[in-house]
Structure 1
């Protein structure tokens, strides 16, 4: 089996209003064999209950929303078998997939906001050269 290289970048939102919020993805690249479990780590800092997102960007394509946490259940299931679990006590929202496939080779972005996208007073975001995605 060939290993997959999964580059990761973090999107940090600069928010208007109450407190500073950020996300951190400690792993710059993740190498995983095809068929092996995939985990991409994301930690966040927020003074309010955040809305959390995972995006995927394949080469020469735009961002694709994989999953989002708005409220309720802490385990979120997204597209293509991806899942993320919100662990408030650890302030983490790690992305997981039970079995990685070569087509999962892409850049992954963890993001947060203190408002629902499209709502008044939303977040102002500055992703690294990926354009406007909300």
Structure 2
């Protein structure tokens, strides 16, 4: 059985006309055995943001959108490649989950927020 290392990064989209908002991913790296479930944590400062995102980046490739949550929709959102995330406003969390992982899930993961889909990235912080 193989194990994989998951690298986590937080990304903040620029939010016009609002105070500073941030996302944090408390775990820097996670090692998961192939076939095991995966949970990647994402916490955010109290936010009036409308959009929450999870991205994946494989080595030597660009960012790929895994899933997007629009506030007001139901709290659980399904993404591509078997990923899903649950938005919990009261806990200020947007954790990413996958019930069954594979070696090709080894990548960097980014949690992000923004007030519009077309905003450009304001920055990213590597932990």
- What TM-score comes out, normalization by structure 2 length? 0.91
Corresponding residue for 2:6?
6
1:15–1:124: 8 Å Cα contact kept in structure 2?
no
Structure 2 residues not aligned, in runs of 5+: none
1:77–1:84: 8 Å Cα contact kept in structure 2?
yes
1:57–1:108: 8 Å Cα contact kept in structure 2?
yes
1:58–1:106: 8 Å Cα contact kept in structure 2?
yes
1:113–1:123: 8 Å Cα contact kept in structure 2?
no
1:3-37: CA deviation from partner (whole Å, max 9, x where unpaired): 11101111123422122210000100001100000
Corresponding residue for 1:83?
84
Which structure would you say has the larger RCO, counting Cα contacts within 8 Å and 6 or more residues apart?
2
Structure 1 residues not aligned, in runs of 5+: 130-134
1:59-99: CA deviation from partner (whole Å, max 9, x where unpaired): 01000000000131110000000000001110000000000
CA RMSD of aligned residues (A): 1.7
- What TM-score comes out, normalization by structure 1 length? 0.86
The 3 A distance-change label for structure 1 pair 49 and 14 is closer
